Amino acid sequence: MRSTPSGFRRRGRPLDEQTNAPGRGPSAELDVAASGLEPRPGRPGRARSAILFVLVAAAWFALDVATKGWVSGGWQEGDVVTGPILGLVRFHLVHNTGMAWGMFGDSTFALGVLSLAVCAAATAYLFAFSKRPNTLETTGIALVVAGGLGNALDRFTLGYVVDFIEPVFIDFPVFNVADIGVTCGFAIFLAGMALAWRREDRALDAAAPTDGEGAGPR
């Protein structure tokens, strides 16, 4: 009885020259190895985004808690802590149970729940739905989340939000560091999205064939 040499066909299926495994040739082995060594896109970028997110959110949250603790520690509601600073703002301690301009007064708990929901949605978007968030997008959402958590903490533990920054050159509600994070963070996030869209448009324009390219013979 004659044996079939390695590398020849047996029942129409190729044999690997080294392993005699049916259906896997040298090219298949190389493809498998290449696929195993190929880096998975997006993971390093997401790790950097997560680190930046945690650092920015933690720093802004700590700043908000520290400033509220300082102004609440030595003064009572209604006290003017400082006079106008550079003619722009003064520190005036206010306990806010609603939103800006007195809207939704005495809705502290509901507004706290809403703040947590917004923070959860923003974080989910950044890490679950955004394909490749850039630095501006990550920083903006981190500020929004830090501000939302800071005000929610006040609402659940104190029953009101500690506001103390009052502009003196315009008629504007008293606010705090958390409010600055939410407002500026949202603006930074929009700027990051606009930048990402612009880069995508440039990449599509660069990849598009110019006149005369890509056309085959007629």
Is 187 within 8 Å of 160 (Cβ atoms)?
no
pLDDT tens-digit profile, the chain (218 residues): 454 444 444 444 444 444 444 444 444 443 433 344 333 444 567 889 999 999 999 999 999 999 999 999 989 999 999 888 888 999 999 999 988 766 777 789 999 999 999 999 999 999 988 878 899 999 999 999 999 999 999 999 999 999 999 999 998 999 999 999 999 999 999 999 999 888 877 777 777 766 555 545 54
Annotated catalytic residue 179: yes
Those residues whose C-beta lies under 8 Å from the C-beta of residue 185, and which sit 6 or more positions away, are: 139, 140, 141, 142, 143, 144, 145, 146, 147
Task: Tell whether 31 is covered by a domain.
Answer: no
Task: Tell whether 106 is covered by a domain.
Answer: yes
Residue 173, domain extent: 67-201
Is 125 within 8 Å of 39 (Cβ atoms)?
no
Q: E strand or H helix at 37, and its extent? A: helix 26-37
Would you state the structure tokens that stand for residue 121, as one six-digit string? Answer: 């949605």
Task: Tell whether 9 is covered by a domain.
Answer: no
Cα separation, 201 vs 122, in Å, equals 25
Burial letters for 140-149: b for 16+ Cβ neighbours within 10 Å, e otherwise?
bbbbbbbbbb
Task: Tell whether 160 is covered by a domain.
Answer: yes
Please give the pLDDT value at position 100.
73
Please give the pLDDT value at position 65.
97
Please give the pLDDT value at position 15.
43
Task: Tell whether 155 is covered by a domain.
Answer: yes
Task: Tell whether 22 is covered by a domain.
Answer: no
Which residue in the list 16, 79, 163, 205 is annotated as catalytic?
A: 163
Which residue in the list 179, 201, 205, 211 is annotated as catalytic?
A: 179
Task: Tell whether 40 is covered by a domain.
Answer: no
Cα separation, 195 vs 36, in Å, equals 34
Task: Tell whether 38 is covered by a domain.
Answer: no
Total number of domains constituting the chain: 1
Please give the pLDDT value at position 25.
47
Cα separation, 156 vs 148, in Å, equals 12
